Amino acid sequence: MPAGWYRDSDPTKLRWWDGEQWTDRVKGAAEPPPLYALSTPAAIGEPLRERNVLSAVALVAAVVAIIACLAVAGITLTGMTLPPWMLPLVALGGSILALVLGVIAGRRVEYTGEGRRATVIALVLSGVLVLAGLAVAVMQFTLSTV
């Protein structure tokens, strides 16, 4: 059996199975499940599986940040005047949010074993956004000093 929380002989408790033996770690089965947990199992001995929802949230944050950057760049290309700090702010702000969520989701991947692909994609996209934001900021600084 894989490591995880399983129903104990006392139906009001869950006991941790480390993959080799039962541990002394016990928690009440009546506790509300965490936000990332799937519904509680119906049968005794069925593992309590947890989902890494944060990996999907990190990926969505990265994609939304990229779309926002493209929108700001598109508005700038159409001739509308925006403050010069708008694009780097959107890129760096979105990338920092996606990066933080991605790192936390990556830690959850170690524990739950789920969401690895979405987390890696979110981290890569946030890295691209950081580089793009820094490049645009440097270009704008260089152009403003010339």
pLDDT in tens, the chain (146 residues): 788 888 888 878 888 999 899 999 988 875 544 544 444 444 455 454 556 788 888 888 888 888 888 887 777 677 777 777 777 888 888 888 888 988 888 888 777 778 888 889 988 988 888 888 888 888 878 877 76
Full residue range of the structural domain in which residue 61 is found: 53-145
Residues 91 and 135 grouped into a single domain: yes
> At 113, which helix (H) or strand (E)?
none
pLDDT of residue 49: 52
Q: Which pLDDT belongs to residue 50? A: 59
Residues 36 and 59 in one domain: no
State phi, psi for 28 to the nearest 5 degrees: -70, 135
Task: Specify whether 38 is located in the same domain as 64.
Answer: no
Do 95 and 30 have their domain in common? no
Residue 58 and residue 32 in one domain: no
Same domain, 33 and 79: no
pLDDT of residue 27: 86
115 and 129 together in one domain: yes
Q: Give the count of domains, the chain.
A: 2
The residue to which tokens 């002989």 are assigned: 9
Of 43, 41, 48, nearest in space to 26 by CA:
48
81 and 65 in one domain? yes
Question: CA 7 to CA 141: how far, in whole Å?
Answer: 60
- Could you tell me if residue 113 is left (phi over 0), alpha (psi between -120 and 50 degrees) or otherwise beta? left
Distance CA 38, CA 65 (A): 28
